[in-house]
Amino acid sequence: MAKLLEIATEYAHLKCIERKPVMIAMAKLIQICGDKDIQDYDRKDARAFVDQYGKVKTTTIRRRLNSINAVFNWAAYELDLEQRVNRRVKRDQIAA
């Protein structure tokens, strides 16, 4: 499976968008959590990203998370990855 940096680069290229905001978010995520296969990232990594991002405005973190989310959603669709978050929500709703 492809690593996050490869997928983010392809995403920015194919969507014809400015690479810089996407790459800033990806570089920080990789710095905090490592460059893993995309399906190996989980909620723990997202929390670590927010907790360790540093002293920046909430808006900045939100923008970075939006960039990350866009890449993950695109990868899930393009690479036909199972969307674990939706599965967890449904499982939690059934258990309740």
The pLDDT-based confidence of 9 (bands split at 50, 70, 90) is confident
Evaluate if pTM is beyond 0.85.
no
pLDDT surpassing 90 at residue 35: no
CB atoms within 10 A of CB 22: 20
Instruction: Work out the widest C-alpha separation in the chain, in whole angstroms.
Output: 43
Q: Mean of the pLDDT values across residues 11-28?
A: 89
Q: Mean of the pLDDT values across residues 61-88?
A: 78
pLDDT in tens, 48-64: 988 888 788 989 989 99
The pLDDT-based confidence of 2 (bands split at 50, 70, 90) is confident
Give the right CATH number for 4-95 from 1.10.150, 2.40.50, 3.40.720, 3.40.1350: 1.10.150
